[in-house]
């Protein structure tokens, strides 16, 4: 099977990114871009991000997760700690996050280290989830091989019965990570593939070095 995609072309011309317009702190620029993406519309889940981890054998893996909070300190998401991403992070906390906002022809690429957040913060977020999502966290041994869909449905039914008329507590193997950035790159599509790329790099004194990169 073969399909030639060489004629798939798009002219990027919606925005530009000037170095003189960027903030001293990249979180401020991230917040500005995020709000603009939301207001412009067209991205169903603007908080969807790709996270790349590296397994013990050196094999990288990407998958899409949902950003649930960002602060001056970093970017927070939640998962099963026993999942493939959780195991990867345990042995190598260096990760890369990326957002692609096609509605405004933008990307953000974040390199940093992931670490577990405090248990009470994971508890607080877990309590805010719908009951179905809470039960799903109990029913799914994420990333493990299962014999069938029926097996998963039966596990869910088991926990529905177990927690019937009871508080659904957070499993101790499920919780949040915060990715503390060491580098954040903002990419804005421009005509003729002469894209704007501004990179922030964290320095030893915790200031951010700002540089323009060639597209």
pLDDT digit string (tens) for 76-108? 999 999 999 999 999 999 999 999 999 999 999
User: With 90 as the cut, is the pLDDT of residue 155 above it?
Assistant: yes
| pLDDT at position 20 over 90 | no
Percent of the chain with pLDDT over 90: 93
Which pTM value belongs to this model? 0.94
Per-residue pLDDT tens digits for 114-135: 999 999 999 999 999 999 999 9
**Residues acting as catalytic residues:** 193
User: CA-to-CA distance for 16 and 20, rounded, in angstroms?
Assistant: 12
The ranges assigned to domains in the chain are 19-128+173-212
Question: Residue 47 — very low, low, confident or very high, per pLDDT cuts 50/70/90?
Answer: very high
Instruction: Return the CATH fold of 19-128+173-212.
Output: Pnp Oxidase; Chain A (2.30.110)
pLDDT above 90 (res 167): yes
Residue 105 backbone zone (phi > 0: left; psi -120 to 50: alpha; other: beta): left
Q: Which helix (H) or strand (E) holds 112?
A: strand 106-116
């Amino acid at each position: 099977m073969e399909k030639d995609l060489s004629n798939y072309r798009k002219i990027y011309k919606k925005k530009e990114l000037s170095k003189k317009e960027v903030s001293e702190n990249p979180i401020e620029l991230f917040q500005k871009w995020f709000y603009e993406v939301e207001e412009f519309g067209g991205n169903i889940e603007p908080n969807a991000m790709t996270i790349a981890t590296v397994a013990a054998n050196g094999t990288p893996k990407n998958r899409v997760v949902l950003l649930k909070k960002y602060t001056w300190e970093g970017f927070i998401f939640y998962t099963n700690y026993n999942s493939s991403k959780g195991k990867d992070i345990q042995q190598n906390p260096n990760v890369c996050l990326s957002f692609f906002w096609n509605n405004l022809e933008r990307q953000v690429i974040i390199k940093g280290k992931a670490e577990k957040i405090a248990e009470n913060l994971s508890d607080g977020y877990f309590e805010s989830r719908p009951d179905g999502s809470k039960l799903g966290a109990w029913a799914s041994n994420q990333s493990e091989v299962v014999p069938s869909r029926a097996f998963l449905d039966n596990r869910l039914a088991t926990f529905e019965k177990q927690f019937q008329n009871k508080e659904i507590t957070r499993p101790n193997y499920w919780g949040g990570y915060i990715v503390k950035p060491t580098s954040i790159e903002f990419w804005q599509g421009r005509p003729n593939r002469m894209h704007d790329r501004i990179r922030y790099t964290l320095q030893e004194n915790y200031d951010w070095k700002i540089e323009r990169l060639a597209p």
